[in-house]
């Protein structure tokens, strides 16, 4: 049992860090927001898309390197009927720095307030990194 746990730890460490001889390169990260919209009508989707366009302008002004995309799960699974906003960053550091600038921007706070005030509910938020193998 101990041997298998040790093997699992070594395998996980190798998978996450890569080869010890390679220099560490920043890994891209994504923030995934799952939103429950008030409904899935075209008008509701258009409203969120318009808000995302405003956020894109705010991000450019704040030199935020994140690239946002909007997804609608459409076939089976727990998240059908929700909307996913995925913001991809080139690295964890870029996400932290860009996120801090966005969070402190009053216009960004206003747009997020409009989204939440429009009946959208934040179901979950996750930070994901790809594990290459």
Query: Which range in 14-18, 76-80, 88-92 is most confidently predicted, on average pLDDT?
Result: 88-92
72 in a structural domain? yes
Higher pLDDT, 57 or 13: 57
The per-residue pLDDT for range 90-113, each reduced to its tens digit, is 999 999 999 999 999 999 999 999
44 in a structural domain? yes
**Counted domains in the chain:** 1
The arrangement of strands across the sheet holding 121-129 comes to 67-71, 83-89, 29-36, 121-129
CATH number of the domain bearing residue 77: 3.30.70.100
Q: What global pTM score does this model have? A: 0.77
Query: What range defines the domain where residue 93 resides?
Result: 22-129
68 in a structural domain? yes
14 in a structural domain? no
């Amino acid at each position: 049992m101990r041997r298998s746990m040790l093997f699992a730890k070594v395998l996980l460490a190798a998978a996450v860090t890569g080869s010890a001889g390679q220099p560490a390169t920043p890994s891209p990260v994504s923030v995934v927001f799952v939103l429950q919209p008030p409904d899935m009508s075209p008008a509701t989707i258009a409203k969120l898309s318009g808000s995302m366009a405003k956020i894109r302008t705010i991000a450019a002004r704040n030199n935020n390197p994140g690239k946002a995309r909007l997804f609608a799960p459409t076939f089976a699974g727990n998240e059908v009927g929700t909307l996913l906003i995925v913001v991809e960053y080139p690295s964890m550091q870029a996400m932290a720095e860009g996120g801090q600038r966005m969070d402190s921007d009053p216009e960004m706070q206003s747009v997020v307030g409009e989204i939440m005030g429009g009946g959208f509910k934040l179901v979950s938020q996750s930070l994901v990194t790809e594990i290459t193998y």
